[in-house]
Amino acid sequence: MAYSVAVTSGKGGVGKTSIAINLGMTLAREGQRVCLLDTDFGLANAHILLGVNPQKTISDLLNGRASMAELPCNGPAGLKLVAGGSGLTDLLKIDENIRNQIIRSTEALRDDLDVLIVDVPAGANDSAIDIIAAADRVLVVLVGEPTSFTDAYTLIKACSMEKNTHHFSVVVNMANNSSHAKDTFDRFKNITDRFLDIDLKFAGYLPLSGALRDSIVKRRPIMSDSGETPEQQSFKKLALAVAQAPENETPGLRFLGLK
């Protein structure tokens, strides 16, 4: 059965969109039918990182010019993309009805997908919390900086307290090595265990990598090519962890109309 994954972070600049893209491409390379939904309207830059030029975006859906089924465009490695529109940030922060419209509309994609990956706006705003609550699984991108810890904690707390979201997976980005990544996760989990009643799992890490930085500049994701580089191995392990992650049963609207 198809499932949805919200890829989120407490703060911007931690590599969330790049991870969402490469995770989607990894799953697509493994034979899954995957679509990336860009709801990070403040930036809406997934299409730029993928090097594609979508003909239609969510703006067209909201303006009645296209249905959700008409929006997916082809990206590398078989990944589909529903691109975010521009100039929608303020509107989506205050208008729950529009967020609900987008979530409901994804039901049109259900029969053609195995996985819907949702690139969520960074931070603990209402838009991010509602979008996360509508997803089956949640992947939080964390880096080993105090501000990342604080902001990720605030986001997870808000999702738990306001929406009863219980299960969260964490991927550590820009880690020096596996030990550094696990230590970063353990330190963060010690904080959440003290104050929150949630289930937090380590989903893996991405290395501090010049290749990953170059892939962003070149607009050619690291998973565009098959191979066994350290970065590609990390994404394969992350994809497996996400596929095995427990699902939330948050009441209310769900992506793909599954619950």
- Residue 138: CB partners within 8 Å, gap ≥ 6? 5, 6, 8, 132, 159, 165, 167, 168, 169, 248
The answer to whether the annotation marks 13 as part of a ligand binding site is yes
- AA identity, residue 127: S
The answer to whether the annotation marks 148 as part of a ligand binding site is no
In the numeric block, the tokens 């589909």 are attached to 80
The answer to whether the annotation marks 4 as part of a ligand binding site is no
- AA identity, residue 20: A
The answer to whether the annotation marks 51 as part of a ligand binding site is no
The answer to whether the annotation marks 179 as part of a ligand binding site is no
Distances (CA, A) of 33 to 30, 46, 79, 134, 139: 9, 18, 8, 20, 19
The answer to whether the annotation marks 259 as part of a ligand binding site is no
Half-sphere exposure of 194 (CA within 13 A, CB side): 7
Distances (CA, A) of 31 to 6, 24, 28: 20, 11, 5
The answer to whether the annotation marks 18 as part of a ligand binding site is yes
The answer to whether the annotation marks 15 as part of a ligand binding site is yes
Binding residues for ATP: 11-18
Annotated binding site: 11-18
